[in-house]
């Protein structure tokens, strides 16, 4: 009886601990939202919502606060990173989950984990030393460009996508695979036409995490993207993203300039919410 009471007390204690941690997490998110919107929305009103979001000129000294070039830059860089990183990441996770020999897996898995642990600034140095000179020599470009940032971010999101996709593929019930084999499908066909669609929920989650990583990355991007607040459709030209705009100018910004940078953070925050909502809708429509 005493052991039962102790066990019940431990369960109640852990329930309380879990509740407290959940509340703290919710409060942290709420405080961030309150800070961003309380400081950012008034700045948008003063500048003008339309002028702030669609303006193409960013000159704080002349009270010009148009962030459309930075919005476009973030879309270009993130989209390019996804085009590069998502197929490579998903195919790598498929290989590790269903094709990789055990002795290779023991080597490949630590390498993927190591990629996840490399600091952003080190990726930035790699981009400056390797990618920028390569693009400069082989393309008609200064090197610091949208393409360079997209390639670098595509590499950086690989461990995020692989780390979330591989467990999702492994979690699919083995009976799916065995049933496909029993119907005459080959190993490759069973994996790509049965296991992969069955794991699409986890793969979508991996892609969302990759989008968040690419959209929110700052230090590596600021070193290779060129940081020029302009509208361009040339992948070989430099541009500025929302995150790099904040980190480059927050140190000396004051008054309306500082509030405009916080408002830029609000736009970035809303972008991530929209992306998560869109992926949730895609997942929900896929289940129906």
* Per-residue pLDDT band at 27 (split at 50, 70, 90): very high
Q: pLDDT tens digit string along 68-88?
A: 999 998 999 999 999 999 999
Q: pLDDT tens digit string along 239-273?
A: 888 888 888 888 787 888 888 888 888 888 888 88
Convert 80-102 to b/e letters by CB count within 10 Å (16 or more is b): bbbebbbebbbebbbbbbbebee
Nearest CA among 62, 69, 116, 84 for reference residue 225: 69
* Per-residue pLDDT band at 92 (split at 50, 70, 90): very high
Other Cβ atoms within 10 Å of 221 Cβ, number:
32
Average model confidence (pLDDT) for the chain?
86
* Per-residue pLDDT band at 3 (split at 50, 70, 90): low
Q: pLDDT tens digit string along 158-181?
A: 999 998 899 888 888 888 888 888
Nearest CA among 143, 169, 278, 268 for reference residue 214: 268
């Amino acid at each position: 009886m005493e052991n039962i009471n102790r066990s019940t007390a431990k369960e109640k204690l852990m329930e309380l601990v879990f509740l407290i941690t959940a509340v703290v997490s919710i409060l942290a998110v709420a405080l961030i939202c309150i800070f961003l919107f309380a400081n950012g929305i008034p700045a948008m009103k003063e500048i003008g919502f339309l002028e702030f979001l669609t303006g193409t000129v960013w000159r704080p000294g002349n009270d010009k606060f148009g962030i459309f070039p930075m919005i476009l830059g973030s879309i270009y860089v993130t989209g390019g990173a996804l085009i590069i990183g998502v197929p490579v990441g998903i195919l790598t996770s498929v290989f590790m989950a269903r094709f990789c020999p055990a002795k290779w897996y023991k080597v490949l898995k630590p390498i993927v984990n190591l990629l996840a642990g490399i600091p952003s600034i080190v990726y930035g140095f790699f981009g400056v030393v390797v990618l920028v000179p390569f693009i400069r020599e082989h393309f008609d470009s200064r090197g610091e460009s949208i393409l360079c940032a997209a390639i670098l971010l595509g590499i950086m999101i690989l461990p995020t996508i692989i780390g979330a996709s591989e467990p999702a593929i492994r979690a699919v019930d083995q009976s799916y695979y065995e049933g496909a084999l029993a119907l005459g499908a080959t190993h490759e066909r069973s994996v790509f036409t049965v296991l992969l669609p069955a794991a699409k929920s986890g793969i979508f989650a991996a892609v969302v995490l990759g989008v968040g990583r690419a959209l929110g990355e700052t230090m590596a991007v600021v070193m290779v993207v060129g940081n020029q607040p302009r509208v361009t459709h040339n992948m070989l030209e430099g541009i500025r993203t929302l995150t790099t705009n904040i980190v480059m100018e927050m140190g000396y910004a004051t008054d309306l300039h500082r509030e405009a940078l916080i408002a830029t953070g609000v736009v970035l925050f809303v972008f991530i919410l929209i992306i998560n909502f869109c992926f949730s809708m895609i997942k929900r429509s896929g289940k129906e």
